[in-house]
Each structure stands twice: as structure tokens, then as C-alpha cells.
Chain A
């Protein structure tokens, strides 16, 4: 009765979807991620206006700096907004205490020969992370070069070059691929997508594991399997929870579309982040393919386990590979067509995140990414079919301790 099976799968889809989006955990996670994004986009810059440093070649200071010059090196220095000349150390200390300046630099009279400068700071934090140190370097560069160089030359002393990249392929053809800033701007969305993809797949497949294990543990499963087929149950569950995951991603993407340009504006080192439509399509395709793989595996583990606790322990073995490409991003992004990246692209458990990392690294072999997608999609479909059989076989394992042998035996019996 294929008509009934489809209708049953639809009913289970609706029930699982509505149950999932009513879960507190799902709601907190769905709202929590965008709140974090908005925090980075809007709140954090307000909380600390020195959070993002500025070093684009201009001498303007993000924060007020005081200085005392005993060497006369800054004698002819043009006024710079934010740079305050102070005559006396006691006044300088007072200005620091009052918060009028962030740092106070004292240039001794033998500065030119020694390069030594005293730096007075207030409060906590590492001096090495304090941007006023770099900012005062620029002030000194301008002061030293002021007489000898033009304004443009001084700007080049501060910021010597902005690279435009040219890629040379195996035939010797060159292709302008933009600036370093563009490269970072291009890599960032793919990296962010990889994180989103991983989180959403984990939430969806984790919920499926919980759903299957609970139904088995509370014996609801006997009511279900006498109402419809295991395949309808699996398809309904997997699609219902997958749709909830997709809704989650859609909400995140919407918030990202608003907040990512705002975030990129905070980093003057970046061009505006823009998300290519084909990247979104690829991400959604990888979401489905990857989700099917993980969901089917989780459902199988849930069906074969005898308790939620046992299932959770075993599921970690499956989830760890998905994180490997994220941890290995430092290896994959700089070398997106290396052996590691290529192998991980064709392994269904790592393919979604590895592929996103390769896109972030601007791979030359997009066809491999697409092929990885196809492999993952087929693996997902096969595992979904297999999970229905394991689900069916799992019923035979009521109260039995799970072992590979017992699951295999049950699978054969369920045949």
C-alpha cells in the first residue's frame, strides 16, 4: 500500500516537525546563535570602541594617546587627531587616571640613538594586545620621516603594500582573483557556513537519536510499527527533523545577511563580506546530504541501543569525524587541493564540512566538491534505507545488551 505509506510518512513528518520546533532546546539554539551574531555585530563594538584596531595607512588614532617628548623628534609634527602633547609626567599620569588618554608615551632625549620609549598604561590587559602601542609606532614613523618624505611616502612607510593576487594555472594562464582582503572576505562566509552546517546537522541528527531511542525505551515503537511501515517511520522522522533544521538554518542565514556586513565593517582589514548565491545552494545541498548521512546513522544507533544513555555514548563515535575538517581547517584552507582535503571530501561523514573548508580555501577543483556532494547524497540514501532495516531489527533487541553480533543477528532475522 504505497499510498498509505506515503500518507503515514507525511503524518510522521508533520508530527516530528511540530514537536521539534516546540522543543525548548531547539528554540534556545535557534535564537541563541543569531543573538550571538547580533552581539558581535552591534553590541560588542559599542562596549569596547577599541576592540578593532585600525592600521590602514592613515595616522588618525582610534583612542587618545598622550606623549612627552624630551628628544624633540616630534617638534615639527602636524597635529594628529587623538594625539595629545603633554609637558609634564605628573600631568600625564593624571590624564591617564582620569581616562582622558589611553596610554602615555615618554620619549627620552637619547631616543634616536637607543629607540627606547617609556610606556605608561592604566588598568588590566596585555600591553602586547594594546593597539595604542602600534598606533604610537606610526606616530614616531611620521615624526622621523616628516622632513624627508612626502605625505604619500609616509603613508607607504606605514602601510607598504596592498597586494593584488594573480593565480597562475598549470597552462601558465593568469587570472586576477582580487586582493588579500577579498580573499579573506570570500573565505569567511564558507567558514561560517561550515560551522552552521555542523551545528545544525548535530542538532537535527541528535534529536533523531533521542526520538528513536525514547520511543524504543518507552515502548511507543510497538504501537508505531503496528500502524505503519518502518520505512514510513524513518522517512517521516528524518524529513520532519531535517525540515526543522533547515528552518533553523534559514533563520540563521537571514540574521547573517543582516549582521555579517555589519561585522565586516568592524574589521577595516576586510572588504565587505558577500555571500554568493551558489554558495548558499551548495550549503543547502550539503545540509541535506550530510544530514541524511548523520540522521540515518543516528537513527540506526538509536534503534539498536537499549537506552538513551547507551545511544549517546555510541553516537559520539559518529559525530567526531564531522568536526575533523573544522579542527584541520588550518591545513585545509591554505591547501584546499591537498591530499587530506581531497580524501575528506569523499568521505560522507567529513564531506560537508571539508567541502566548505575547501571553498573557503578557494579550491581549483570545484568538480571534486560537487562529486563529494553526490557521494554524500547517495551514501545518505543508502544509510536511510539501512536505518529502516536496523530500526526494524532493533525491535528484536528488547532488553538485550547490544553488541555488533546481536545487531547483525537481529538484522538477519528481520530480513
Chain B
């Protein structure tokens, strides 16, 4: 599978502080890739450095089959984390301007801008000045600007922050359309449910370092089950790590550990003569993995 983005050993320092530390990962063409990390972990600096906004101190970045950032930029759409547009200009003028800089003619930029404004429900605001829009609206206009030239690679830095659930859903639907068109989407976030919903592959960074990268399902399988769910008419007493699940009738979830293996649970039910209607081992959630990995990284770094 050819890569839309390959990052190898990327390092960025501000003075003596290393804010991106030897990070390597790759994004396959056509996928939606989640770039995860807690606040202040270095996600934005990694993206800015990869895009060439900041100069890297070490490492290599290749776009769309081997291009450098400058050559690839006309084929890349970028939504920065810090939002902002020309406040005194009309929405349609800003889109026309940015569309032209991304290689469209005046007419193409305007047509495409208006079409996308239609799709995000802001068409009637096309002649308003940007300063007259709400923060969420401005964010949608900026999102539109990042898609205006139908880019092959779309990089979105915290795209859903500050948006209401309806607009988040709208943005996700539009990204699905872009992916169906063949575009690759990379988005950074610390909201794990968004990643679980949209991405198959992820990279997780904490304290400037990459701590996890790969297929989300494979990562979860490789960790092994960390819980077991049992459904039965009654449950034996004395098993450690039992959590009754609210509103689920006779269902109990056991946290697995060295003191409580699946075999021990099954033996306990058999000894008590209870017939199970369901027994399922559960893979760790992304939330579990995130908390565990980030905590480990922080302990390791002191």
C-alpha cells in the first residue's frame, strides 16, 4: 500500500526543550488516521513540523509517494488547530482567495467555495464578513477552505474541538465523502470516541514521543482481554474485581488480573452449580489503552 505520509525520526527542539522526539509513523493512502495524544503532548508541533511550517531538527517527512512538503502542499488540505481567517473580509472572498492560492481559477474557487458552503449550511452567510460569524461557523468556513481544492491528503488538527454535536456529525459525514473520493484523512484529537468511530489505524504520542502506532483492533488484541462479562441467573460470592453493570439484569463484568483468570471464573460458577447463559472475554477499550500507556510513559519520564 503506498503511503500518503511517511514520517521518520522527526525531531523538533525549541531551545533546549525537545517537543517532538524521534517520531516515526506512516499513513496509508485512502485511510482515515487518528493522531492521538493528551494535551501538550506535541501533536500540533509534529503536524506543523511535518508540514514545513516549522523546520525540523532531524528526521524526514515524505508526502504522497515521496514528495517534500513544499511540492506536496498544493495537493494537501490543512486545518490548523488555532482558527482564524481574514476577519474584515467576506466569507466568499476568503474562500476565493485561499482557493486561488491552492491552484484554482477565480471562478473555480468561488464555485467550489459556494458549493461547500451549501453543504455545511452556511451558503446564506457567504456575503457576511468573517467577523460577523460565530466561532463554530468560522471553524466550518476554515474546514471548507481546507477542502476547497479537493486535496489528496487532508490534515486536520483538532477539527472537532469547540463544535456542537450536530456540526461534529456534519464534519464526519463530509470527511467520509472525502475518503470515498479517495482522499486520505489524518486528524489529531484527544477525544478517543472520535478515533474509535472513524479510524482503523492510530498513532499515540505522549510527552513528545510516539508510544503506540498501528491497527487499532490489532493493538487491542495484542493487549489481550482485560475483562470478562458473565450473564447468569445468579453469581457466586467472593470473586475479586466484580462490577455489576447497572441496568443489565444478571450481567456482571470481572476485571481480569493474575488473581482472577477466565478459568478461575468458570470454575467458580461450575462449583456453585450455576448455568451460564453468556461468557465473553472483552478486549481493552482505547480509553483503557490510552490511560495505561500515557501513565506508563509519564512514570518512565519521571
Contacts and interface: CB of A to CB of B under 8 A. Distances in A.
Interface of A: 1, 4, 8, 11-12, 15, 19, 214-215, 217-220, 222-229, 395-396, 398, 409, 413-415
A218 B101 contact: no
Nearest to A18: B93
A10 B208 CA distance: 40
A1 B78 CA distance: 20
A415 B98 CA distance: 26
B101 A225 contact: no
A360 B97 CA distance: 44
B66 interface: no
A218 B85 contact: yes
A11 B74 CA distance: 15
Given A223-B145, A226-B51, A218 B87 contact: yes
Nearest to B142: A223
Contact of A219 (B70, B82, B100): B82
Contacts of B84: 217-220
Please name the 7 residue pairs, one residue from A and one from B, whose CB atoms are nearest each other, closest first.
A219-B84, A218-B84, A227-B101, A222-B80, A219-B82, A226-B78, A11-B100
Interface residues of B, number: 30
A4 B100 contact: no
Contact of B53 (A8, A218, A226, A415): A226
Contacts of B48: 222
B71 A222 contact: no
Contact of A227 (B15, B54, B102): B102
A395 B53 contact: yes
Mostly, the A contact residues are helix
Nearest to B130: A218
Nearest to B149: A227
Contacts of B82: 219, 222, 398
A11 B97 CA distance: 8
B86 A218 contact: yes
Contact of B76 (A15, A215, A226): A226
A220 B82 CA distance: 9
B244 interface: no
Contacts of B55: 413-415
B73 interface: yes
Interface in B106-140: none
B83 interface: yes
B28 interface: no
B194 interface: no
A390 to B, nearest CB: 14
B90 to A, nearest CB: 11
A86 B261 CA distance: 130
Contact of B89 (A19, A398, A414): A19
A15 B96 CA distance: 10
B165 to A, nearest CB: 25
Nearest to A211: B86
B52 to A, nearest CB: 8
A65 B85 CA distance: 68
A15 B97 contact: yes
B98 A223 contact: yes
A396 B54 contact: yes
Contacts of B51: 226
Contacts of A413: 54-55
Contacts of B14: 396
Contacts of B53: 222, 225-226, 395
Given A219-B80, A222-B53, A223-B78, 15 more contacts: A1-B70, A4-B74, A8-B101, A214-B86, A218-B85, A218-B86, A219-B82, A220-B84, A223-B80, A226-B78, A227-B101, A229-B70, A395-B53, A398-B82, A414-B55
B85 A228 contact: no
Contacts of B80: 219, 222-223
A4 B87 CA distance: 26
Contacts of A11: 97, 100-101
Contacts of B89: 19
14 contacts: A1-B70, A8-B101, A15-B97, A217-B84, A218-B86, A219-B80, A219-B84, A220-B85, A220-B86, A223-B85, A226-B73, A396-B14, A413-B55, A414-B55
A17 to B, nearest CB: 13
Contacts of A19: 89
B70 to A, nearest CB: 7
A398 B48 CA distance: 12
A95 B73 CA distance: 85
A1 B114 CA distance: 29
Given A219-B80, A396-B54, A1 B101 contact: no
A401 to B, nearest CB: 14
Most buried by A among B71, B73, B103: B73
A226 B71 CA distance: 11
Nearest to B51: A226
B19 to A, nearest CB: 12
Contacts of B76: 226
Contact of B86 (A1, A215, A228): A215
Nearest to A12: B101
A133 B288 CA distance: 100
A4 B103 CA distance: 8
A227 B70 contact: no
Interface in B153-184: none
B120 to A, nearest CB: 17
Most buried by B among A215, A398, A413: A413
A227 B86 contact: no
A365 B125 CA distance: 61
Contacts of A223: 78, 80, 85, 98, 142, 145
Most buried by A among B52, B76, B86, B98: B86
Contacts of B78: 222-223, 226
Most buried by B among A19, A226, A228, A413: A226
Nearest to A8: B101
A163 B60 CA distance: 79
A217 B83 CA distance: 10
